[in-house]
Amino acid sequence: MPSPQTITEKILAAHSGRDTVRPGEIVNATIDLIVCHEVTTPPAIRMMAQMGVTKVFDPTKIVVTPDHFVPNKDIQTAELTKELRNWVKEQGIARYHELGEHGICHALVPEKGYILPGMTAICGDSHTTTLGAFGAFATGIGSTDVAAALTTGELWFRVPETIRFNVKGRLPHGVYSKDLILHIISKIGVDGARYCAMEYHGSAIAAMSMEARMTITNMAVEAGGKSGIMEADKVTTNYLKARTEEPYTIYRSDADAHYVATHEIDASALEPVVATPSLPSNGRFIGEIGHVVIDQAYIGSCTNARIEDLRIAAKVMKGRRVAQGVRALVVPSTSAVWRQALKEGLFEIFADAGCVISTATCGACLGGHMGVLGKQEVCISSTNRNFVGRMGHPEALVYLASPATVAASAIAGHIVDPREYLERPLRRDKEAGVPVGAIAGGGPGSEQEDYLWGV
Amino acid sequence: MGSVDTVIRGRAHVYPRAHVNTDEIIPARYLNTHDHVELAKHAMEDIDPDFVKRVQPGDIVVGGEDFGCGSSREHAVWALRKAGISCVIASNFARIFFRNSLNNGFLSIECAGFADKAKSGDDLEVDLAKGVIRNHTQGTEHVFVPLTPFVQEMIAAGGLLPMVAKKRGTVYNPAIVAVKPDVRVSQIAPAK
Ligand code: SF4
């Protein structure tokens, strides 16, 4: 009988030819998926040349999309994306997503069905943890690691300890997975999960859509975590069914697996959370925020700009106008989300409200372009980091919140509780059929239903 | 093969505070270059402006908890190493700094609470084979978290890339900078 293990330990054992692994051990694991973007991959391409390597280990295990500064922001970024494109072509990498089919990598990869339960996945980007929502081991690494993994298909890892989060109850109306993760980070701090895998369980997680789950695993790194992970379930397999026919292995943590800590959280007791400047761990319930006037409201990023997020924001903004003096920016996370939002009429709602809508890009999330903040400007944002200087000027102030809170604040002109703007709660009774407020097309068992029941 | 039998000896520069971040180690305003020599001129500038004036080859940086947190920039490791630092001892490290450091063949040694006891200027000796740090000034000895054989092998090879190159029978040459002729995408034939 092998000793009891967590999902993360099982995945790392299976990828390093072992029966079991223990936290703290270093393993050399095979990599199933390497995700590349234009910022951290070009240095890795050069490093491969320095090693005398001319071919990647397996072009079919690589996914490439430019995302941080697209469309090219300046000459420098144009050169970087050109270097990336040249390399893709030279290496014969088929899964390259050119503009129009591109997206922020952590949002694009799940949407295309590239990430599967049981996989190991890496990217030279700290929010790679997002992919853990599928029951995969996914983590961010540096350019040296990217170069080594592209060359050999393997990478060393210190097996992380796992922290378990049992989230019981249901998120109340107007409270989202973003509020939950901001709450968790406010409890454990920015290094509360240093080196650790953050593993989530409980009825509140089970009730969430994949999109809502990804918001949680996305922010693992904001607590210092190596990865965030959730067991694949029916919601996961349904999501994948629509996207891929590839086989996969679902791992589950053993009942007596070892956790360095276990946190019990009651989702039902939560309220909308806002993280004040300049740490993601500064989360407070909306009632404690006071009157904060804003200059900009940003709905974007790999954390919260998927179609569900846009639907929620549109629901808040429908028939309303953005407050005088506020710039409201809507930046869908991928091209597919963009097209879907167009089809559903969400852009009309945003445009009528006075929002600016852009193509998918990381953009202002990292202070890159398309909404960079000036000195002492205040922004409420659906992104994941509010460090000093993150979205522009070091004296700009960034508040993190759910898309609903961001949208409602854009309308009010200052940070507000979104619940006042989401008049009618959705009915919770599944037997009643299509929930109140459902968007046409979402039948029982559909993803839209997941979304509606999951929020 | 693979065991690191070196003894590192140097003077301590102690920063006992938790969360010394990569912005303090190498401020973002200097990230417009990858040149290690340039970066080294600004090592630790935002936590200790005189650091580069005092540092001597072989010196050791001693930190508290969560050393190297913040952005994932490898520049932090490059700047410290090129400034002459031989290794960093801290209570523990932020994950990506730790990884970047070992990947670059630069030692990060975990020894809880060491920073609270050491003083700047102390004469330190890290004995990798025995797994101890000797503070010759204070006459004390401290056990650190041992390096795994894998890490020892990587450090001995000079980092992850030289190690990978060696295993593949190629030579790692960091001097190679320009790799691609400046051509348009349409001129490149796809690989078979
Ligand atoms: S959207 Fe922001 S957090 Fe996400 S990958 Fe882009 S820059 Fe990073």
Tens of pLDDT along A359-392?
A: 999 999 999 999 999 999 999 999 999 988 889 9
Judging contacts by C-beta atoms under 8 Å, the chain B residues touching residue A86 are: 180, 183, 185, 188
A289 and A370 share a domain? yes
Give the range of the structural domain holding residue B178, as residue numbers without chain letter: 159-192
Inspect the interface and report whether the beta carbons of A148 and B164 lie closer than 8 Å.
yes
Say which amino acid occupies B150.
F
Query: How far apart (Å, rounded) are the C-alpha atoms in residues A54 and A41?
Result: 15
A385 and A400 share a domain? yes
Asked if A152 has any chain B CB less than 8 Å from its own CB, the reply is: yes
**Residue A107 confidence class, pLDDT cut points 50, 70, 90:** very high
Inspect the interface and report whether the beta carbons of B173 and A148 lie closer than 8 Å.
no
Cis previous bond, A71, omega within 30: yes
Task: Output A83 or B3, whichever has higher pLDDT.
Answer: A83
**Residue A450 confidence class, pLDDT cut points 50, 70, 90:** very low
HEC assignment per residue over chain A:
CCCCCCHHHHHHHHCCCCCCCCCCCEEEEECCEEEECCCCHHHHHHHHHHCCCCCCCCHHHEEECCCCCCCCCCHHHHHHHHHHHHHHHHHCCCCECCCCCCECHHHHHHHCCCCCCCCEEEECCHHHHHHHHHCCEEEECCHHHHHHHHHHCEEEEECCCEEEEEEECCCCCCCCHHHHHHHHHHHHCCCCCCCCEEEEECHHHHCCCHHHHHHHHHHHHHHCCCEEEECCCHHHHHHHHCCCCCCCCCCCCCCCCCCCEEEEEEHHHCCCEEECCCCCCCEEEHHHCCCCECCEEEECCCCCCCHHHHHHHHHHHCCCCCCCCCEEEECCCEHHHHHHHHHCCHHHHHHHHCCEECCCCCHHHHCCCCCCECCCCEEEECCCCCCCCCCECCCCEEEECCHHHHHHHHHHCECCCHHHHCCCCCCCCHHHCCCCCCCCCCCCCCHHHHHHHHC
A131 and A156 share a domain? yes
Q: Is the pLDDT of residue A44 over 60?
A: yes
B48 and B86 share a domain? yes
Question: In the prediction, which pLDDT does A424 show?
Answer: 54
Cα A365 to ligand 1 centre (Å):
6
- Per-residue tokens: A128: 């790679």
A30 and A136 share a domain? yes
A258 and A309 share a domain? no
Question: In the prediction, which pLDDT does A449 show?
Answer: 33
Cα A219 to ligand 1 centre (Å):
11
A211 and A63 share a domain? yes
**What ipTM did this prediction achieve?**
0.85
Question: In the prediction, which pLDDT does A437 show?
Answer: 36
- What's the sign of the alpha-carbon dihedral A148, A154, A155, A156? negative
- Across the interface, of A47, A91, A142, the residue whose CB is closest to B96 is A142
HEC assignment per residue over A89-113:
HHHCCCCECCCCCCECHHHHHHHCC
Question: In the prediction, which pLDDT does B184 show?
Answer: 52
Query: How far apart (Å, rounded) are the C-alpha atoms in residues A117 and A132?
Result: 8
Q: Is the pLDDT of residue A154 over 60?
A: yes
8 Å CB contact between B96 and B75: no
Candidates A12, A37, A41, A50: best to mutate against B (most CBs of B within 10 A) is: A50
Reported pTM: 0.89
A177 and A316 share a domain? no
Instruction: Report the percentage of chain A scoring pLDDT > 70.
Output: 93
Task: Output A315 or A389, whichever has higher pLDDT.
Answer: A315
Domain boundary at A266, A295, A322, which?
A266
pLDDT digits (tens, 9 = 90+) for A56-77: 999 999 999 999 999 999 998 8
Taking Cα atoms as reference points, which of A233, A238, A40, A247 lies closest to residue A126? A40
> Is residue A81 domain-resident?
yes
- Across the interface, of A26, A126, A147, the residue whose CB is closest to B151 is A26
Asked if B34 has any chain A CB less than 8 Å from its own CB, the reply is: yes
8 Å CB contact between A34 and A123: yes
Asked if B166 has any chain A CB less than 8 Å from its own CB, the reply is: no
Question: In the prediction, which pLDDT does B4 show?
Answer: 60
Asked if A26 has any chain B CB less than 8 Å from its own CB, the reply is: yes
**Residue B27 confidence class, pLDDT cut points 50, 70, 90:** confident
A152 and A45 share a domain? yes
Instruction: Read off φ and ψ for residue A368, nearest 5 degrees.
Output: -80, -65
As for how many domains chain A has, the answer is 3
8 Å CB contact between A45 and A83: yes
Q: Is the pLDDT of residue B29 over 90?
A: no
- Across the interface, of A148, A195, A224, the residue whose CB is closest to B160 is A148
A303 and A443 share a domain? no
A168 and A304 share a domain? no
Question: In the prediction, which pLDDT does A1 show?
Answer: 63
For B57, left (φ over 0), alpha (ψ -120 to 50), or beta? Answer: beta
A246 and A370 share a domain? no
> Is residue A2 domain-resident?
no
- Across the interface, of B66, B69, B100, the residue whose CB is closest to A144 is B100
Return all residues near B60 (Cβ < 8 A) that are at least 6 apart. Answer: B8, B10, B11, B12, B13, B85, B86, B87, B88, B89, B124, B126
The closest-lying atom of ligand 1 relative to the alpha carbon of residue A385 is 3
Instruction: Report the percentage of chain B scoring pLDDT > 70.
Output: 88
Give the range of the structural domain holding residue A78, as residue numbers without chain letter: 7-266
> Is residue A134 domain-resident?
yes
Is the C-beta atom of A369 inside 6 A of ligand 1? no
A24 and A110 share a domain? yes
Cα A192 to ligand 1 centre (Å):
21
> Is residue B1 domain-resident?
no
- Per-residue tokens: A41: 């991959």
Least confident of A150-164, A175-189, B137-151: B137-151
Asked if B72 has any chain A CB less than 8 Å from its own CB, the reply is: yes
Q: What is the mean pLDDT of residues B77-93?
A: 96
- Per-residue tokens: B61: 């940086």
Q: What is the mean pLDDT of residues B67-81?
A: 88
Least confident of A24-33, A183-192, A205-214, A445-454: A445-454
> Is residue A218 domain-resident?
yes
**Residue A444 confidence class, pLDDT cut points 50, 70, 90:** very low
Query: How far apart (Å, rounded) are the C-alpha atoms in residues A365 and A118?
Result: 30
Cα A4 to ligand 1 centre (Å):
35
* Residues B156, B64, B139: CA angle, nearest 5 degrees: 75
Query: How far apart (Å, rounded) are the C-alpha atoms in residues A293 and A80?
Result: 38
Q: How many CB atoms lie within 10 A of CB A432?
A: 9
Asked if B96 has any chain A CB less than 8 Å from its own CB, the reply is: yes
Distance from CA of A98 to the nearest CA of B (A): 13
Cα A410 to ligand 1 centre (Å):
22
B86 and B27 share a domain? yes
**Residue A178 confidence class, pLDDT cut points 50, 70, 90:** very high
As for how many domains chain B has, the answer is 2
Q: Is the pLDDT of residue A439 over 60?
A: no
> Is residue B2 domain-resident?
no
